[in-house]
Amino acid sequence: MQKSFKNGVWSQAIKGCVVALFVSIVAILIMSLLARFFTFGVDVIPIINQVIKVVSVAVGVAVATREEKFLFKGILTGIFYWLGSFALFLAMGGKLDLRHFFLDLAIAVVVASIVAFFLSKRR
């Protein structure tokens, strides 16, 4: 019996991606608000951005992987998040840098895989 799209793997991965993007946007807004009151060093901002991405992917994967197929849903969520965050970055006027492009993909997939693995062991 085939599951409906609402409960399918793809829809759950997209839902996790949307949640992850929302977490990223909120965290970036909070970071920019804090930047008005505190001075961040130039080398600190990329680290904060990576931490925001890691936390966002972890939250998105936790939302997407409620049932079976943990690893597949986790990796899909990570890839969808990577595509969505990259599209948002370009829409805000960012430049295409292939090093960061592939680094962000690797981080998203690795974090998603690790979170999905641990969630599969807990359930």
pLDDT along the chain (123 residues), means of 10: 61 89 92 88 85 91 80 86 86 78 86 84 69
Collapsed DSSP state (helix, strand, coil) of residue 43: coil
The answer to whether the beta carbons of residues 61 and 15 sit under 8 Å apart is: no
Residue 101, both tokens: 């492009």
pTM for this structure? 0.83
Give the number of C-alpha atoms closer than 13 A to the C-alpha of residue 72, restricted to the C-beta side. Answer: 8
| Residue 22, pLDDT score | 95
In whole angstroms, give the CA distance from residue 58 to residue 114. Answer: 9
Domain count, the chain: 1
Residue 85 has, within 13 A of its CA and on its CB side, a CA count of 33
Q: Which domain holds residue 58?
A: 5-122
